[in-house]
Amino acid sequence: FLAPVVLKELHTVDLRPARLALLWGVSLIGFVVWTGRRPRGVAWLLAAGALAAVFGAGFGWSAAALGDSQRRLLALDRDTLLAGKVSRRLGRLGDGDGDGVPRLFAGGDCDDTDPSIRPGVYDAPGDGVDQNCTGADLVLAEDPIGGVQRDPPGERQRWNVVLVTLDAVRYDLSLQHMPELRKLAAESVEFTNAYAHSAATYWSIPALLASKMPSRLHMGRDQTPVAGEVLLTEVLRQAGFHTGLFANVTIFFVRGLRQGAMVANYDTSHFTVHGAKPGSAHLTDGLLKHVDAFQAGQLKGGESMFLWGHYYDPHDPYFEVPEEPAADSSDKARYEALLRYTDRHVGRLVQGLKDRGLWSKTVFVVTADHGDEFLDHGHRVHGSTRYEEMTQVPLIVHVPGVGHRTIEGPIGHLEVAPTILDLLGIAIPRTFTGRSRADEVRTGEAAPLEPVFLEVFPDSNYAGHQVGVRLGDLKLIYRISENYFELYDLAADPLERDNVYDVHPEAPRLRELLLRYADHHLYHLARGLTGAKLPEGAPEKPAPRKRKRGKRK
């Protein structure tokens, strides 16, 4: 009945509705031809009644069956041009309470008599009412994030720390087009299932530095963490490090993130501002020049340094680099060329540290703020989804005295800053919510599997609202805006083509976990501290008191 129209990804779609649509079309044409040639007697009325009955049965089946199959929902919404929109329009016919979310046609309204109850809204904690149809009332004490038990810090290590963040570098293409990173991984600890928690720089980088989920950050009007947020840079400065930030002014001056940095160098902006021209060569030159000044005793700070460099070039728009010609004129080919260009200068930074005798005294960390998409799932660039091309990023950690090893257990960016501090023997702030993986880095002994949560939410730049969780080989995505689920077994289906939510035995357990996280996610967004759009049903804040006008005393 609601058949796919203009398929974009044929291999993901159940074709039975398409065959049903063909049958309907042939039957309808035949009926029109038949009625045009015969007088409207009893036989005509019986045929028309039978057709109406079949139509009604098909309508009822569609209304019920869509809610039973997340696979069908995904096929309609992601892989068709019109069918998803048609189903939502039809769903309004069954919206009993007028809240815009029906019970049928996969609307998922768990109480279609109360307009304050529907999926995706704020759930008031502890009132005994499940306002957003997650299956339970929000209990603040049952937060799936945080509660990490910390061991006392170990022996203090007088190492340097260099953090390299790459903009918009997805893990799979880094394997193919960044040979210097592969060389670095061969002598370091590599996490092969590392995740950025969000899909935009101004959410994912603060989450990395503050070890806090993006929806729980307190951000200022300029999408900058407020002074009350504790960042890794500040912790290291307080521990006696010289701290320096080298980045593109478009990203880090306008949006802050310089808290704790003694030096904030934005000279790379003369070379690259939103893709004007490449800046990786200049960024590496600036970092190495700063290293030389530190070694010469020309900079303030202690005997160790923390340098953070953000390589922006892979970000869209994808410009041409003469020294790294693209295979063709497509965006993806240009992006791959930019990966090779950026990789070369990250490799030059590594070699520069080795040439200066610092490699054996330096913790060197490389990761990316998010990935990028080239119609892998029907989208371009980044900011909207939680698929692997958007969330899985490189994460390589070189530690003095630790050889090569590969860690396959999933890790989120929340765990990076605690791991760095633990490796250095520095106390981890109480505000950091991620666990340390330092023991795993040192020994190779696998840490217990824990969920890695993912999220995108609507703000002034992006409209999508999704949360996700990676646990072991499974990843569950909950599309809050559309109220349906996608479950992928990444070991068997790394490209996320086959939504196994309807049939996988672990789906109910992951659903319960992710919906509990979604409850807390919406609660924190409703506090209004992130700068994101508030979820519907969020409590109103009292208006600021107006000052009385009068003469100044």
Let me know whether 241 and 380 are in one domain. yes
In DSSP notation, 19-76 reads HHHHHHHHHHHHHHHHHHHS--SHHHHHHHHHHHHHHHHHHHHHHHHHHH-HHHHHHH
Q: Answer yes or no: is pLDDT of 115 > 90.
A: no
Structural domain contains residue 374:
yes
Structural domain contains residue 342:
yes
Structural domain contains residue 153:
no
Q: Answer yes or no: is pLDDT of 551 > 90.
A: no
- Encode pLDDT of 170-209 as tens digits: 999 999 999 999 999 999 999 999 999 998 888 999 999 9
Let me know whether 90 and 170 are in one domain. no
Let me know whether 90 and 174 are in one domain. no
Let me know whether 188 and 76 are in one domain. no
Structural domain contains residue 458:
no
Higher per-residue confidence, 363 vs 462:
363
Say what the pTM is.
0.84
- Cα separation values, 539 from 29, 457, 525, 526, 535, Å: 54, 18, 11, 7, 10
Let me know whether 271 and 373 are in one domain. yes
Structural domain contains residue 346:
yes
The rounded distance, in Å, linking the Cα atoms of 193 and 173 is: 14
Query: Which domain does 270 fall in, by range?
Result: 166-399+411-442
Let me know whether 51 and 185 are in one domain. no
- Encode pLDDT of 128-177 as tens digits: 999 998 999 999 999 999 788 898 999 999 999 999 999 999 999 999 99
pLDDT confidence of residue 10: 40
Give the helix/strand (H/E) hosting 393. Answer: strand 392-393
Structural domain contains residue 543:
no
The rounded distance, in Å, linking the Cα atoms of 136 and 516 is: 8
Q: How many domains does the chain have?
A: 2
Let me know whether 258 and 365 are in one domain. yes
In DSSP notation, 297-338 reads T-SSS-SEEEEEEEE-TTSSS---BTTB--SSSSHHHHHHHH
Structural domain contains residue 550:
no
- Encode pLDDT of 220-245 as tens digits: 877 788 889 999 999 999 999 999 99
End-to-end CA distance of the chain: 76
Let me know whether 331 and 429 are in one domain. yes
pLDDT confidence of residue 478: 95
CATH number of the domain enclosing 189: 3.40.720.10
Let me know whether 43 and 174 are in one domain. no
Let me know whether 225 and 340 are in one domain. yes
Give the helix/strand (H/E) hosting 201. Answer: helix 201-210
The rounded distance, in Å, linking the Cα atoms of 242 and 166 is: 22
Secondary structure of residue 363 in the 3-state scheme: strand
The last residue of one of the domains, among 32, 64, 94, is: 94
The last residue of one of the domains, among 59, 94, 129, is: 94
Structural domain contains residue 58:
yes
pLDDT confidence of residue 68: 61
The last residue of one of the domains, among 66, 94, 122, is: 94
With cut-offs at 50, 70 and 90, classify the pLDDT of residue 8: very low
> What residue type is assigned to position 232 of the chain?
L
With cut-offs at 50, 70 and 90, classify the pLDDT of residue 34: low
